[in-house]
């Protein structure tokens, strides 16, 4: 059964943790739906794990729409959130609303995700008023990599904590139904609670209402970077590598295709 925002809040109120995975293609989405994952996110992290870029900044709106359509086909019965990529919502209020509307209409997503805090509270409020649910994203915000310099834990200083607290209050007051908390210490992140919104952690400890990880990290096909918060549940890279090597060997030795695989 596809969860709605109402049912997600029901899980929160019943202290049942919410599972979310970032996916970018039909197959991974299909697997996640079959596994019963609560929420899928088409994240602009696809710029790194799919496109091979060093960060998320080069991802375009049309890329997100393309991938989100594939994910929706793979998981038609799972709650779907899609990232608004860099500079698709920062130009103006009108352009941001237009782009969010285009994404929702073309992908059949249930909500959009907006990176950034207090500055985007008016946008969040306007999107909610026109019928577009919003998941906010605060703490470590990868679209600000050129400003923050590197991926790091945020909120170590008291001044940073006060700023992030204000971001949290402002985006939830504006109507964000969910907030992703990224790259925050456990002791700090557990203070960010409200009945108004669901909190989803990624590198923010266990006291959030749920957790999100990237599919490629979970299945272990990404081995060139491993943040502390990532848990690889299987060594996918070496499993796939072994299979490909076996295929190559059988082709070279004339063992594949055998009679079993021949019409």
Residues 6 or more apart whose Cβ sits within 8 Å of residue 144: 115, 116
CA 167 to chain centre: 19
Q: Is residue 94 annotated as a catalytic residue, yes or no?
A: no
Residues 6 or more apart whose Cβ sits within 8 Å of residue 185: 153, 155, 156, 205
Catalytic site residue from 162, 182, 250, 253? 182
DSSP annotation of 91: S
Q: Decide if 78 contacts 106 (C-beta within 8 A).
A: no
Q: How many CA atoms lie within 13 A of 53 on its CB side?
A: 12
How far, in Å, CA of 97 to CA of 127, rounded?
6
Residues 6 or more apart whose Cβ sits within 8 Å of residue 15: none
**The pairing of beta strand 111-115 with beta strand 18-22:** unpaired
- Give the 3-state secondary structure of residue 79: strand
Residue found by looking up tokens 């009945």 in the block = 195
How far, in Å, CA of 201 to CA of 143, rounded?
17
Q: Decide if 75 contacts 40 (C-beta within 8 A).
A: yes
Catalytic residues: 182
């Amino acid at each position: 059964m596809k969860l709605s925002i109402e049912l997600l809040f029901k899980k929160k109120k019943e202290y049942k943790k919410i599972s979310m995975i970032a996916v970018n293609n039909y197959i991974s989405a299909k697997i996640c739906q079959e596994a019963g994952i609560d929420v899928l996110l088409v994240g602009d992290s696809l710029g790194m794990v799919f496109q091979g870029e060093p960060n998320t900044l080069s991802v375009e709106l049309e890329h997100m729409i393309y991938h989100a359509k594939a994910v929706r086909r793979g998981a038609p019965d799972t709650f779907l959130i899609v990232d608004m990529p860099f500079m698709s919502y920062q130009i103006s209020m009108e352009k941001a609303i237009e782009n969010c509307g285009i994404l929702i209409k073309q992908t059949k997503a249930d909500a959009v995700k907006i990176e950034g805090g207090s500055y985007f509270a008016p946008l969040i409020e306007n999107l909610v008023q026109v019928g577009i649910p919003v998941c906010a994203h605060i703490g470590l915000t990868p679209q600000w990599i050129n400003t923050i310099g590197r991926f790091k834990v945020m909120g170590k200083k008291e001044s940073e904590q006060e700023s992030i607290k204000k971001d949290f209050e402002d985006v939830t007051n504006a109507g964000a139904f969910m907030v992703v908390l990224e790259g925050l210490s456990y002791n700090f992140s557990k203070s960010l609670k409200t009945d108004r919104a669901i909190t989803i952690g990624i590198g923010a400890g266990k006291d959030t209402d749920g957790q999100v990880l990237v599919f490629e990290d979970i299945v272990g096909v990404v081995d060139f970077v491993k943040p502390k918060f990532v848990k690889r549940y299987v060594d996918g890279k070496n499993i796939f590598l072994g299979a490909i090597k076996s295929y190559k060997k059988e082709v070279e030795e004339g063992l594949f295709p055998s009679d079993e695989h021949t019409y």
